[in-house]
Chain A
Amino acid sequence: MSKLSTLAAIRFGYGLPQPKGAPESAEAMLAMLAGSDEAMRTLPIRNSAELIPNLQELRQIQKAGKKATAKNPKRNALLQDFSNAAEAAAVVTFARALDSADGFRERLTTFWADHFSVIAKRQLEALFPYALVDDAIRPHLTGNFADMLTAATLHPAMLSYLDQSSSVGPNSHFGKNQNKGLNENLAREVIELHSMGVGAHYSQTDVTEMAKILAGLTLNADLLMQFVPRRAEPGPRALLGKTYDAVGLDNIHAALRDLALQPATGQHLARKLAVHFVSDTPDADLVKAIAAAYNGSGGDLMATYAAMLNHPAAWVEATEKARQPFDFMVASLRALGVTGEQLQQMPYKQFRGQVLTPMAGMGQTFKRPSGPNGFDEAAEEWITPQGLARRITWAMRVPMRLVQPLPDPIALAQYCLADRASEALLWGAARAEDITQGVGLVLASAEFNRR
Chain B
Amino acid sequence: MTASMDRRDFLRGLGGVLGCSIAAHPLMTTVTMAGANGGRALGDHRLIVIILRGAMDGLDVVQPQGDADYAVLRPTLLNPQAADLDGFFRLHPAFGDLMPLWGAGQLGFVHATSTPYRDKRSHFVGQDMLEAGTGMDVPLNQVKDGWLNRLLQTQKGLTSETAYSIGQVAMPLLEGTAEVRNWSPETTLLLTPQARLLFDRVYEADPLFHAASQEAMELADAGNGDMEMMAADPSQMAGLKVQDVEQLVDYAAGKLRQDARIAAFSMTGWDTHRGQAGGLSKSLARLQYAILRLQTGLGENVWGKTVLLAMTEFGRTARENGTKGTDHGTGGVMVMAGGALNGGKVYGDWPGLSEANLYERRDLMPTSDVRAWAAHAIQGLYGIDQNVLENTVFPGLKMGKDPRILL
Contact = CB atoms under 8 A, between A and B. Distances in A.
A380 B195 contact: no
Interface in A70-105: none
Main DSSP-derived SS at the A contact region: helix
Interface string B188-223: 111110110011011111101100110110011000
Interface stretch (B93-101, B318-326, B333-341): B318-326
A393 to B, nearest CB: 5
A180 interface: yes
Interface residues of A, number: 66
**Most chain B CB neighbours (cut-off 10 Å) among A360, A431, A440, A441:** A360
Nearest to A398: B230
Nearest to A353: B230
A170 B209 contact: no
B182 A386 contact: yes
A170 B321 CA distance: 9
B187 to A, nearest CB: 5
**Most chain A CB neighbours (cut-off 10 Å) among B124, B216, B238, B325:** B216
A360 B237 contact: yes
A422 B124 CA distance: 38
Contact of A368 (B120, B237, B273): B237
Contact of B120 (A166, A192, A386): A192
B234 A366 contact: yes
B184 interface: yes
A393 B220 CA distance: 12
A363 B205 CA distance: 24
Contact of B199 (A119, A168, A356, A441): A441
A193 to B, nearest CB: 8
B121 A204 contact: yes
Given A183-B274, A370-B268, A386 B216 contact: yes
Contact of B322 (A183, A368, A392, A432): A183
B234 A432 contact: no
**Most chain B CB neighbours (cut-off 10 Å) among A185, A445, A446, A450:** A446
**Most chain B CB neighbours (cut-off 10 Å) among A168, A184, A370:** A370
A182 B230 contact: no
A35 interface: no
B388 interface: no
B249 to A, nearest CB: 19
B170 to A, nearest CB: 5
A185 B327 contact: yes
Contact of B216 (A185, A358, A385): A385
A188 B323 contact: no
Interface of A: 119, 163, 166-168, 170, 175, 180-185, 188, 192, 198, 202-204, 207, 322, 352-353, 356-358, 360-361, 363, 365-366, 368, 370-371, 373, 376, 379-381, 383-390, 392-393, 396, 422, 424-425, 427-428, 431-433, 437, 440-441, 444-446, 449-450
Given A204-B119, A422-B202, 9 more contacts: A167-B321, A185-B327, A192-B120, A361-B168, A368-B237, A396-B195, A433-B194, A437-B194, A446-B208
Interface of B: 12, 16-17, 119-125, 168-170, 181-184, 187-192, 194-195, 198-199, 201-206, 208-209, 212-213, 215-216, 219-220, 229-230, 232-234, 236-238, 268, 273-274, 321-323, 325, 327-328, 360, 362
